[in-house]
Amino acid sequence: MCGIVGYIGPADAKHILLDGLRKLEYRGYDSAGLAIQQAGELAIRKRQGKIDRLAGELDLAPVEGMVGIGHTRWATHGAPSDDNAHPHVDCAGRMAVVHNGIIENYLALRESLEGRGHQFRSETDTEVFAHLIESHYAGDLYAAVVAALREVVGSYALVVMSLDAPDTLIAARQHSPLILGHGEQEQFIASDVPAVLAYTRKVTYLQNGEVAVLNRDGVRITRLDGTEVSRDISIVAWDAAAAEKGGYKHFMLKEINEQPTALEETLRGRISEDGAQITLPGLKLSPAQLSAISRVLIIACGTAYHAGLVGKYAIEQLARLPVEIDVASELRYRDPIIDEGTLAIVISQSGETADTQAGLHEARDKGAHVLAVTNVVGSSVDRDADSVLYTYAGPEIAVASTKAYTTQLMVMYLTALYLAQERGTMPDEARIQLIDAVRRIPSQTQTILEGQEAIHSLADRFDEIHSSLFLGRGVNFPTALEGALKLKEISYIHAEGYAAGEMKHGPIALITPQCPTVAVAVPGGVYDKMLSNIKEVKARAGHVIAVGAEGDGELHKYADDVIRIPRTVELFTPVLAAVPLQLLAYYCADNLGMDIDQPRNLAKSVTVE
């Protein structure tokens, strides 16, 4: 998730681009850059770091012009650096591109272009676009861009500017957002509305597979096959603050709703086209190393720890490796048994949590192969690990983790499936069925989100509540822990996550009509046990809200309220079950008027012990 801005018109492009980038900084902030046509040349300025560093550079080396493109980066390929910052240019330095998304086949394209003499200056997938368009250019920029897009597999929002077509910007979209803003004799392009709102409220939303050609006096939109598209202009009614949150009241709600896309991005390029194999190039273990692994140790904090707990179930069940898991702050003081046969998996959204980093170093120093699962390219755990698998969730702004969690779960499933595949611990047929189920998760998540109003109504029950219980068993015991954590951290209602079978050893004493129980009871090996636990709560006059599967005709006979999630295999239910619990926590906190995105006493990233 990066931020893109483009401008063509009569005004000072630098000012408009910088202003737009600042409005998009929530989309990424590890580096920024812009390219402006200045006296028949492309002036490029780019800097690692926040947009103020780029602004400082522009003070030292000013540029002036009326056509330009800008970018604020959230790294996916290549660490944050001046060289990897966008825009990227072709060999001749006559064309510049900015891009948001992931090009899956960039390595093959890069090798082919290098074989034909193209010189690359960065490690990014984006730079492939600049050289690919250059290789196709024969006097018609639009034709060259379309030809390049036909060769690319992946997701993109792309804007291209060339000295050979000085009065034109070309933009294209596939799975990454782009909007066009329309002014008087000026056109804007951006990843999101806030970047243009100071200049115009007239926007066009570009759709997948579309290419836009922008001139000062208008925009022409086509599909990749050249067919003209006509689209009505929309008038944006949001104010600037709402626009930054995509019209949502809080970043947390926006991020909850981004999960289908985040999960899709996390899957992208990691499943073979025939749906039979998992490919994880980030996991740098040779076949000999893979078969030498004797155990897995998972290290994480907070929500990431809950993702690790689900990972334990997945890896043990599918790859038949023993998995131990520890919160990082405990691991570092207990002299853990770690050796060369250990695969240590370190999970951290930020990649900067101090305890998690200490755990990583301990594991590495004792000879383990360290796999980092992180959302931030170039973060400390990314740099210090032997292997890295990214969660492509994009920046998570709200303190309470949502889309980072579900994408961490997705990476855990992919890792378990990959280890099973490489170690031959499950039949191909069974693996293919699970891969098929994994691929359906993003759209199933979308289905849950479409029913969020029902969860909003359920949250009203918590207005007068001071304490609650969250119960789950097996792979959904972590779901109960995560559901309780979400509720307590943003609503300040006490919430206890418990293994349902353990309830009778203590928490059952808490049950009263004023202490509701949320029970995850999805079809699978522990379903009947969960029904028994729900009955135990009901027998003590407790109120039960159950999370169950679509089409389950039993559950409503026992629970007071039932939240339905689409059916999937039991192992994957934690991703789907997490979503209604996030929404429940969100609406409870919102009803109570809490500061949802920045709850008291909490920090997004805990960089001290």
Binding residue for ligand G6P, selected from 349, 380, 476, 491, defined by CB under 6 A: 349
Among the listed ranges 10-18, 127-135, 185-193, 599-607, the one in contact with ligand G6P (CB under 6 A) is 599-607
For ligand G6P, the closer CB: 224 or 606: 606
Binding residue for ligand G6P, selected from 124, 174, 353, 445, defined by CB under 6 A: 353
Encoded tokens for 505 = 């050893």
Binding residue for ligand G6P, selected from 206, 304, 493, 563, defined by CB under 6 A: 304
* Inter-residue contact 85 to 48 (CB < 8 Å): yes
- 31 binds ligand G6P, rule: CB under 6 A: no
> What mask of x and - would describe binding to ligand G6P in positions 356 to 375, judged by CB under 6 A?
x-------------------
Q: What contacts 24+ positions apart, CB below 8 Å, involve 499-504?
A: 499/471, 499/472, 499/473, 500/471, 500/472, 500/473, 500/529, 500/530, 500/533, 501/473, 501/529, 501/533, 503/469, 503/471, 503/533, 503/536, 503/537, 504/536
Q: What angle do CA 526, 309, 550 make, to 5 degrees?
A: 40
> What mask of x and - would describe binding to ligand G6P in positions 218 to 257, judged by CB under 6 A?
----------------------------------------
Cβ-closest position to ligand G6P: 302
Binding residue for ligand G6P, selected from 146, 178, 301, 575, defined by CB under 6 A: 301
Q: Are strands 517-520 and 544-549 parallel, antiparallel or unpaired?
A: parallel
Asked about 538 being catalytic, the answer comes back as no
Closest distance to ligand G6P from the beta carbon of 376 (Å): 8
**In 10 A of CB 598, how many CB atoms?**
16
Among the listed ranges 134-142, 229-237, 258-266, 342-350, the one in contact with ligand G6P (CB under 6 A) is 342-350
- 604 binds ligand G6P, rule: CB under 6 A: yes
Asked about 486 being catalytic, the answer comes back as no
Cα 578 off chain centre by: 15
Q: What is the distance between the terminal CA atoms of the chain, rounded to a whole angstrom?
A: 30
Closest distance to ligand G6P from the beta carbon of 82 (Å): 26
Closest distance to ligand G6P from the beta carbon of 401 (Å): 4
- 124 binds ligand G6P, rule: CB under 6 A: no
- 602 binds ligand G6P, rule: CB under 6 A: yes
Cα 122 off chain centre by: 23
For ligand G6P, the closer CB: 231 or 604: 604
Instruction: Quote the CA–CA distance of 298 and 296 in Å, as a whole number.
Output: 7
Binding residue for ligand G6P, selected from 31, 84, 174, 401, defined by CB under 6 A: 401
Please tell me which residue in 2, 301, 515, 588 is annotated as part of the active site: 2
Encoded tokens for 252 = 């947390």
* Inter-residue contact 101 to 174 (CB < 8 Å): yes
Q: What angle do CA 569, 376, 354 make, to 5 degrees?
A: 100
Binding residue for ligand G6P, selected from 266, 350, 476, 517, defined by CB under 6 A: 350
Number of H helices, E strands in the chain: 19, 25
Please tell me which residue in 202, 529, 538, 604 is annotated as part of the active site: 604
Q: Nearest to residue 126, comparing CAs of 77, 72, 177, 54?
A: 77
Stretch 511-550 residues interacting with ligand G6P (CB under 6 A): none
Among the listed ranges 199-207, 298-306, 316-324, 444-452, the one in contact with ligand G6P (CB under 6 A) is 298-306
Which residues face 469 on adjacent strands?
496, 517
* Strand (E) or helix (H) holding 494: strand 494-499
Residues contributing to the site for ligand G6P (CB under 6 A): 301-304, 348-350, 353, 356, 399, 401, 602, 604-606
Catalytic residues, by residue number, are: 2, 604
